[in-house]
A and B are shown apart, each in its own frame.
Chain A
Amino acid sequence: MSAPPERSRRGRALGTASGALLAGAIIGLTAAALYLRTRNAGDQLQAEAPARAMALALARSGAQRSAHDTADPDLLQRRVLALAGRDTVTLATVVQEPRSTKYRFLRKRRYLAHSDVQRLRQSLDRRHPGDKQLYDLANRVRQHGPVVELRAPQDGPVTVVAAEPVRVDGKQVATAIVVTAPRPLHVPVNAWPIGAGVLALGLLGLMAGRLRQRYIVVMASLAGLTALCWYQLSTLAAFYHRVLPIPSYALRSALQGGSPAPLTIPAWPLVIALPLALGLATLGHVGLGQRMVQALRRHRAAYLYVLPAAVGMLLLVFLPFGYGLGLGFFNHAHGTYTFVGLSNFIEILSGGGRPLSHPLNFYFTLGVTVLWTGTNVLLHVAIGLALALVLKDPLLRFKGIYRVLLILPWAVPNYITALIWKGMFHHQYGAVNHVLELCGIENISWFSSFSTAFAANLVTNTWLGFPFMMVVCLGALQSIPRDVYEAADVDGASRWQSFLHITLPLLRPALFPAIILGTIWTFNMFNIIYLVSAGAPGGSTDILITEAYRWAFERADRYGLAAAYALIILVILLLYTLLTNRLTRATEDTYS
C-alpha cells in the first residue's frame, strides 16, 4: 500500500510517541502494583496483624491463667471477650497433652474459652466439625510453630486465622487461636472481561473500518491502559477491603470449599498484558501493524479458519511450554515451589558435584545421548538407503510384499516393540541368547554392562527407525530422472560412480530434513531407553530425556530440575537445527 511518504513518516512518529507513552505508563503502574503485592505478601494481609496481635495477647493471658488463676473461669471468659473486639467471633485456647503412652497420635485436648458460645467448654466436641479444625490447627502449631493463614472454611466465607503456642517455662501448655469475623464478601465486577472486551472491540473496529496505523496504537493503548487500571484498582480495592475480594479467588473457594486456597493476587493478567501492549507498541513503531491489519483484513476468512488451531496451539503447546520454562527456575518440595534463580541450571551444568565418569553427571549423559543419536541415525540411514536401493531394482519381483513387510516395524506402536525386544534380550529366556547359543556363542547378560545394554537399545531402535528412512529414500529415488543414469552409462561410469555422483547428491534435499527429524526423534527417544534397558546398568544408558524424567518422578520430585533439563535439551536441539538448516541451505545453493 503506497501511502504518501510524509504521512507514513508522521504516522510512524506518532506510533513511536504513543508506544513510548504506553510503555512508560505500563511500567509505572506495574511497579506500583508490584510494590503493593510484595507489601501484601510480606505481611500477608494487614488485616492479619490485629488477629496476630490478639493471638499473642490471648496467649499471654492464657499462660497466666493456666499458671495462676485456674479457679476463676469467668475471669478468663471476660478477658477473652474483651480481647475479642468487634472483628472477632471465635477465640479459643486448646490445650494438648499426651494422653496415651501407646499411640503417639493420641493427645488430651481441652478447650478453654470460646467467644461464640457464651460459656466455657472443658473439652472439644468430637461431633463438632469446627472443633476438629481448632484441634488440627493446634496440632499444626505444636509441630510447626505459629500459623497465620487466610482460609475459606467448609461452609462460610473467607476468614483470617492466627494461632500461637502458649509456653510457660519453655513448655507448651496451650495454643491460642483467633479466627476473625467472616466479613460479607464484596465481589467487584471482574475487570478482565471488560479489559479484554475493550481490546477485542478495538481490534474488531480496526479490522472492519478503514482505520490507519496510528489508530491501532491509540486503541491498543487505550484498551491496555483501561485493563491495567482496572487491574490496579482491583488490587487497591483488595488491599482496602483487607479480605481479598478477588472474584476468581472467591469463586474458587466457593467451588472447591474445604481447605485454604493460597493467598495470591493473580499476576497472570499482568504477565499477559505487558508483553501484549509492548508488542503492539513495537509493531506500531516498526510499521508492521499496518501491514498486519491489512493482511488480516484481506484474508479475514483465512485467519478465521486458522483461529481454532491457533487457539489450540496456544493452549496446548505454548502455555505448557511457558509453564515448563518458568518451572526451571523453581525448586519443588512437598507441593510448594520456591524461586531459586539459575541454581537448577548451575547444578546440571556443573555436573552436580559428580565425577565425569558418574552416570548422573550431565556431561556423561550428554555423551551417551550424542553417541546414541549418532549411531542410530547412521544405522537408520545406511540400512534404509540400502533397502531402498534394493527395492528400486526394476527386476525385483513381489516388491509390494517386501515393502509392506519392511514398513511393518514402523507400524507397530513402539512401546510394544520395545517390550518385545526387552523380552528377547532376557539372559535366560530371551530369543537372542537362544540364537547365539545355536551359533555356539555363550549366553550374554545383556543388561549388565554398558556396551551390551547400549547395543540392545540400539538394535531395538534401529529396528524401529530404518523403515522411515527407507520410505524417504524410496520416494526420493523415484524422482531421480532415468536419463541421468543413461547418460552416465554412455559415459562409461561404473555403478558405484553413478551412485556416488548422481544418486547421493540428488538424494540430499530429501534426506537432510529426514535426518534432522530423525536426529531430534532419536535424541528424545524416551520409550526405548526407558523400556528396554531402563538405564541399566546403574543408569549409565540413560539419555537426557529419561534422566529428566527420573529426576521428576523417580528420584526426588525435583520438577524444577527436570524442567531445567528439558530446557537444556531444547537449547541443544535448537542449536543443532539452526546449524543443520544453514548447512542444508548451503548445499542446496551449490547444486540448484
Chain B
Amino acid sequence: MRPTVAALLLLCSTVAHARPLVLWHAYRAAERTALEHAVDRWNQGSRGKDPEIQLLAVPYDAFPDKITAAIPRGHGPDLFIFAHDRVGDWAESRIIEPIEFWITEKHADRFLFKAIDALCYGDSLYGLPMAFKSTALYYNKALIPVPPTTTDELVALGRKHTHREQGRFGLVYDNNKLYFHAPWLFGFGGAIFDAKGRLVVHTPEATAALAFARRLGGPDGIIPPEPSTTLTTTLFNQGKAAMAISGPWMLGEIDQKQIQVGVAPLPRVSRTGKPASPFLGAEGLMLSSRCKQKSAAFRAMTFLTSDAVAIARAMEARQPVANQAAWDDPRVQRDPILSAFRRQLDTAQVMPGTPQMRLVWSPYDMALQKVMNGSATPDRALAEAQTEIRSYLSAMRPGARK
C-alpha cells in the first residue's frame, strides 16, 4: 500500500508542474474568438515561465451546476468565467478562492467600480471583472429616428408602431422574467431587499411598476402576447418590433444588413422621474479553490483582464469590458452601441450576488406570469411572492439547518 501511495504522490507532483491552467467559459461567436486570441497571447508570452492556459467552452445553461459539482470533487477548472450572481453561493461553499490578498488599490482602480464591487462578497473579492452586462433599449432606426427618453414617450412611440392585426409591435421584451422587469421595478422606486437586507417585494412602488408592465403587456398594450427572448430576437430581426429590451448578447444575433440597429439607455420613468435601472451583471474571471498553482493562475487572471487585452476584446467582440482604460480609448468611444451600454451602466443596479437573491427569481417570475396573463392583480401576485420567498428564506437560515 505504502509504495503505491508514494508512487501516486510522485506521479501527482510531476504532473502538477507541467499542468496547464484549465479555463472554462461559456462564450460563443465573437466573444469566444476574442478570448482565444487573448489566451494565445498569454501562451506565447509565458512560454517556460508560467503554465499555459487551456480553454474549454461549456454550455451556459449547464455551467453553474457543472462548477458546483466538479470543483469540490477535484475535476473542475482552475479558472472560469461566469456572471457574478452565484458568487455568494460559491463563496459560502468555498468553491471559489478569495483573491483580495493579491490586489492593491491601484490594481482595483483599473476596473469600473460597479463591476469589481459586484464580485465582492462578505468583504472578500472573488474574481476580476471581464465585462458587465445589462439590458438596454434596442431600436430599429428605420422606424424610430430618436429613441424615447421617458416612459410616456416610449408608450406613445410604441402605440404608433403597434398594429396587432399585422403582427407589428412597438416594444418586445420577455416580461415574464424578473431580470427584464427590473428596470421598471427600480425606476418606480421599488426594491427587492432594503438596505438592511430585509425582503421588500410587496410594496406600493413595486405594485406600481408591475401595473405599468401589465399596461405595456396587456391586451391593449404595445407588447406581443407570450413574449420570450427568442421571440424578441425574431421580431426585432424581422423588423416587426420597433423597440426591444435586451442585453449585449443580442447584438450577435441581429442581422445588421437588414436592420439598422440603435441602442440607447432605458428611458426615465415619467411618474417618478427616476431612470429605469436594469440589473447589472458582472462577468468575473474566478479562481477555483482547488487550483494547484494559484499565484500563476492569478497572474493569468491579471493578464486576461489587463487594459490592453480588454481593449482588444472590446474592439474585436464589441464586449462591454470592465476596464476604465478601454472606455477612455477613442476607438471604443466611437462605437455608438458600446457607449450606449456604457451610459446604461451609470444607472444600472448591481444584481445582488447573495444566496438569498437566488431564492427570489422563481417566485417573482411566477408573479409576473400571473399578472401578465391576467390571472392575478399586481398587488395580490406580489403579496403571494413575498410570502413564498419568505418561506424559502426561512428554510435556508442556519437556525433551520441545525
Contact = CB atoms under 8 A, between A and B. Distances in A.
B105 interface: yes
A21 B400 CA distance: 42
Contacts of A107: 100, 123
A380 interface: no
Nearest to B401: A338
Contacts of A360: 388
B329 interface: no
Contacts of B295: 127, 129
Contacts of A190: 1
B346 interface: no
A537 B102 contact: no
Contacts of B398: 333
Interface centre among A100, A103, A131, A449 (most CB of B within 10 A): A103
Contacts of A139: 98, 123-124
Given A254-B8, A255-B8, A258-B290, A136 B98 contact: yes
A436 B122 CA distance: 56
Given A187-B5, A256-B290, A445-B226, A556 B375 contact: no
- The CB with the most chain B CB atoms within 10 A, among A109, A129, A331, A334, is that of A334
Contacts of B374: 448
A103 to B, nearest CB: 5
A257 B226 CA distance: 50
A353 B390 CA distance: 12
B294 A259 contact: no
Interface string B343-363: 000000000000100110011
B122 A334 contact: no
A102 B355 contact: no
A150 to B, nearest CB: 14
Contacts of B396: 333, 556
Given A104-B123, A139-B124, A259-B290, A126 B391 contact: no
B167 interface: yes
B291 A100 contact: no
B370 A538 contact: yes
A353 B5 contact: no
A124 B101 CA distance: 9
Interface in A520-537: 536-537
| Residue from the set B8, B68, B74, B125 with the largest chain A CB neighbour count within 10 Å | B74
B250 interface: no
In this complex, the member of B98, B398, B401 whose beta carbon has the largest number of chain A beta carbons within 10 angstroms is B401
Nearest to A103: B108
B291 A143 contact: no
Contacts of B12: 254-255, 257
A104 B93 contact: no
A99 B226 CA distance: 51
Interface residues of A, number: 60
B262 interface: no
Interface in A250-268: 250-251, 254-259
A336 B392 CA distance: 17
Interface in A336-363: 336, 338, 352-353, 360
Contacts of B100: 105-107
Contacts of B1: 187, 189-190, 247
Interface in A427-458: 427-428, 445, 447-449
B89 interface: yes
Interface of B: 1-2, 5, 8-9, 12, 16, 65, 68, 72, 74, 89, 92-95, 97-98, 100-105, 108, 113, 116-117, 120, 122-125, 167, 224-226, 289-292, 294-295, 355, 358-359, 362-363, 366, 369-370, 373-376, 388, 391-392, 395-396, 398, 400-402
19 contacts: A100-B108, A103-B117, A104-B120, A105-B120, A105-B124, A106-B103, A129-B294, A132-B102, A139-B98, A187-B1, A254-B8, A258-B290, A259-B290, A352-B391, A428-B167, A445-B226, A448-B375, A538-B369, A539-B366
* 7 interchain residue pairs of minimum CB distance: A448-B373, A335-B93, A334-B92, A105-B125, A256-B74, A105-B100, A258-B290
Interface of A: 99-100, 102-107, 109, 124, 126-127, 129, 131-132, 135-136, 139, 142-143, 154, 187, 189-190, 247, 250-251, 254-259, 331, 333-336, 338, 352-353, 360, 426-428, 445, 447-449, 536-539, 550, 553-558
